């Protein structure tokens, strides 16, 4: 068993590498019994807060919020963008901004920005999917949905599975193996908070066309396989 201080130190070490500076400062103060903010955090806190607020005050944010009010997010034309004084280059900033915001711990805002940006980029071809932003955007969306315990995560999981199936003949075997192993890990994580999640997992990953990815996951991360018998045991509909 680890003591409270050891856990706090480990948490602080993880937070040092994120943009969740406010949280890191709180952990530092509690751990060290002080009210002073360490110098290593002061400069970063100001810069991160400024960048965050700049985005909230930007035309891009205004455009995103306007689109999110619709029943479905529209794909904007160049003329539509002009109404917000935006260009395609401005839209492309959504990619790095979403990563920044996710690193700040604002997963809802990051999810909104990712979902908005996905609707604004052209469909990719299978050959360049791994080198395109779409795959990373789908992983980002799935991460946000998982951390927010949203059922939509299973929909994104299926989109990722389809995307990987489309490029498995053109991407390197090692690359596909790594991506599919992460897919299984996310599936196991999501099923834990989903009603009938075990049944969904078994139906999704034990189909004839996708069962090989479980074998690859066992090779690259044997620990993940230890949870699979439990899925079968509790998934009565598969019997």
Which tens digit of pLDDT belongs to each residue from 184-221? 788 777 776 666 666 666 666 665 545 555 555 555 55
Three-state DSSP class for 81?
helix
Q: Quick one: tokens of 4?
A: 């409270």
Whole-angstrom distance, CA of residue 26 vs CA of residue 16: 12
Q: Which residues of 164-195 are buried (b: 16+ CB within 10 A; e: fewer)?
A: beebbeebeeeebbebbbbbbebbbbbbeebe
Out of 104, 121, 138, pick the residue that ends a domain.
121
Task: Indicate whether 107 and 30 sit together in one domain.
Answer: no
Whole-angstrom distance, CA of residue 122 vs CA of residue 110: 20
Out of 103, 121, 139, pick the residue that ends a domain.
121
**What pLDDT is stored for residue 133 in this prediction?**
83
Whether 98 is covered by a domain: the verdict is yes
CA distances from 3 to 6, 7, 15, 31, 75 (A): 5, 6, 19, 12, 51
- Going by the DSSP 8-state scheme, the letter that residue 223 receives in this structure is G
Question: If you average pLDDT over every residue of the chain, what do you get?
Answer: 82
Whether 65 is covered by a domain: the verdict is yes
Domain span including residue 82: 58-121
What is the SS3 assignment for 13-75? HHHCCCCCHHHHHHHHHHHHCCCCCCHHHHHHHHHHHHHHHHHHCCHHHHHHHHHHCCCCCCC
Out of 75, 103, 121, pick the residue that ends a domain.
121
Whole-angstrom distance, CA of residue 93 vs CA of residue 95: 5
Task: Indicate whether 65 and 14 sit together in one domain.
Answer: no
Whole-angstrom distance, CA of residue 182 vs CA of residue 107: 20
Q: What is the dihedral of CA 161, 167, 173, 175, to 10 degrees?
A: -70
Domain count, the chain: 3
What is the pTM for the complete model shown? 0.81
Q: DSSP string spanning 144-200?
A: HHHHTT-TTHHHHHHHHHHHHHHHTTTS-HHHHHHHHHHHHHHHHHHHTTSTTHHHH
pLDDT at 92 over 70: yes
Task: Indicate whether 187 and 144 sit together in one domain.
Answer: yes
Question: Residue 104: which pLDDT band, with cuts at 50, 70 and 90?
Answer: very high
**What pLDDT is stored for residue 201 in this prediction?**
66
């Amino acid at each position: 068993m680890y003591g409270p201080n050891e856990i706090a130190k480990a948490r602080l070490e993880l937070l040092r590498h994120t943009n969740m500076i406010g949280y890191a400062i709180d952990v530092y103060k509690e751990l060290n019994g002080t009210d002073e903010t360490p110098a290593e955090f002061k400069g970063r806190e100001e810069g991160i807060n400024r960048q965050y607020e700049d985005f909230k005050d930007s035309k891009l944010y205004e455009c995103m919020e306007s689109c999110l009010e619709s029943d479905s997010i529209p794909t904007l034309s160049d003329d539509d963008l002009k109404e917000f004084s935006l260009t395609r280059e401005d839209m492309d900033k959504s990619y790095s901004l979403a990563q920044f915001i996710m690193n700040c711990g604002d997963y809802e805002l990051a999810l909104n920005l990712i979902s908005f940006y996905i609707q604004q980029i052209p469909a990719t071809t299978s050959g360049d999917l791994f080198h395109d932003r779409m795959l990373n955007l789908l992983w980002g969306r799935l991460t946000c949905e998982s951390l927010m315990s949203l059922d939509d995560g299973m929909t994104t999981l299926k989109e990722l599975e389809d995307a990987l199936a489309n490029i498995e003949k053109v991407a390197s075997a090692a690359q596909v193996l790594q991506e599919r192993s992460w897919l299984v890990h996310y599936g196991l994580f999501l099923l834990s908070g989903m009603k009938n999640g075990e049944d969904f997992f078994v139906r999704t990953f034990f189909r004839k066309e996708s069962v090989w990815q479980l074998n690859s996951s066992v090779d690259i991360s044997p620990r993940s396989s230890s949870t699979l018998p439990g899925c079968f045991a509790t998934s009565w509909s598969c019997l």
